[in-house]
Structures are given as C-alpha cells and as structure tokens.
Structure 1
C-alpha cells in the first residue's frame, strides 16, 4: 500500500480542482458588472432647446451661421449608473477648448445639458467631449458653417 495511490483520493483532487476553477469563473462573472456599473452615456445629441429635461429636436451635423442672430446650441446627455460621479462637457472649436461645464451626478439616470452661444465668426468644427475621471466617454460634433 505504500506506493499505491488511492483512486478515491484522485477523484477528490480532481473534484477539488474542478470546484476551484468553477468558483473562480463565477467570481469573474460576479465582478464584471461592477466594472460595467461605472456608467454609460445612453444618449448624446445637439438640440435647439430643452423642454421638461428633454431635447425638443436633434440638430444635424451642419448648422448654418445666421447673421444678426445669436444661435444657442444645447448639448444634451442622458447618463446611466453614474450616481455620485462628476461629469464634464468639454466644448471645443477646431480642437481647441472653448468651455468646460461640470456636473455632479445625483442619480442612476441623470439628464444634463450645457449650452454654447454661437455667433458669426465662430464657424468651424465644434465638438463636445463627455468626460468622467479624465476619460472621454463620448464625443459628438457638428460643423458651424458660414456660407456668406
């Protein structure tokens, strides 16, 4: 008996290894939602106005300069699972930062918006980055076109 292995012990070891692997696999699946719970941008769009916390329309990729008028463009975002975080809208014109607006997120679904007043002479490629903890979550852009 000294050099022989017990078949019952071998089965026990195999079951132990299988159980250990299964537990580790389950832990991987359990911890994955915690990573996903960092939040997401459900919607991000440009609008001409916001009414009752919702955009009234969605502006296209091109907005034309209206002489003698100041156009206000709203950037709306619908955020999910970011309660307690801070999120910023970073407005850029041709890649240069023009404004940064920060928001404290107070719920699992939080709708926020910022605005930019566009006047003649502000034409070019506008973009807004949605930033959380230094990471760009979403970017949207439009061309502000002067056709005169």
Structure 2
C-alpha cells in the first residue's frame, strides 16, 4: 500500500511539473533606460523623477522560457488604466522581448506592466513616475 501511494505521489508530481513547464516561465522582468544587444543596460529604481523639457523612454524587458509558439503581451498601465498593449509572438524556448513607453511631464503616477499569456497575468512590475515640482 505504501509503495502504491509513493508511486502515485511521484506520478502526480511529474505530471504537475510537466504542466508547469508547458506554461513557461518569466526568467527576468525589469525596467531599464535602454536595451542593447538584447540585454538591458541597467535596472531602474522604483521611483523615476520627471525631467522637465525631456522625454524619458522607459523600457520593459522580459526573458521568457519555454513559451515557444505562444503570444505574450506587455500591458502598460498608468494608475491602473491601460495605456498600451504590445503583443509578442514567441519564436523559441528562450525569447527576450522588450517594449517601451515615452514618459513626459504630466504622465506622473504609478506605471505598471503586466506580462500576459492566454489572458493570465504571469508577472507584473511597477514604478512611480514622480513630479516633485
């Protein structure tokens, strides 16, 4: 009886692990000031200050694993309201994608990006764009 239980448990764990791998993972997700050679050059802090007379471009970079053949969306929001949807078709087992948003004075608030696959939010990151004047 004990051996049957252990075998059943191992089978369930194997099936669960395989299903989890089929869904894929987000290996990295971060905001950056630029992406060069398919890699972010830095990681921005949780607070970005408005620079008057300047337009700041903020990049959202994701390193996706085991999602080949799927589509993933970067859903940019300002204070919870959708500002942009950027879809990506995933072409390999490791796929690096990024999108960007131009931030200007007056766009202050809490910005977030949801990584969405098949209508499910896989991960979300946010930062505050702060006008200190």
Q: Does 1:29 align with 2:13?
A: yes
Number of the residue aligned with 1:140:
125
Matches within 5 A, 1:1-148: 21=5, 23-37=7-21, 38-148=23-133
TM-score after normalising by structure 2: 0.93
Rg larger in structure: 1
TM-score after normalising by structure 1: 0.84
Q: Show structure 1 runs of 5+ residues with no match.
A: 1-16
Provide, for residues 54-79 of structure 1, a one-character-per-residue CA deviation record: whole Å limited to 9, x for no partner: 00000000111111111000000111
Structure 1 runs of 4+ with >6 Å offset: none
Higher share of residues assigned strand: 2
Q: CA RMSD in A?
A: 1.4
Q: Counterparts of 1:31 and 1:76 in 2: how far apart (Å)? A: 31
Q: Counterparts of 1:140 and 1:29 in 2: how far apart (Å)? A: 30
Q: Show structure 2 runs of 5+ residues with no match.
A: none
SS in 2 for 1:66: coil
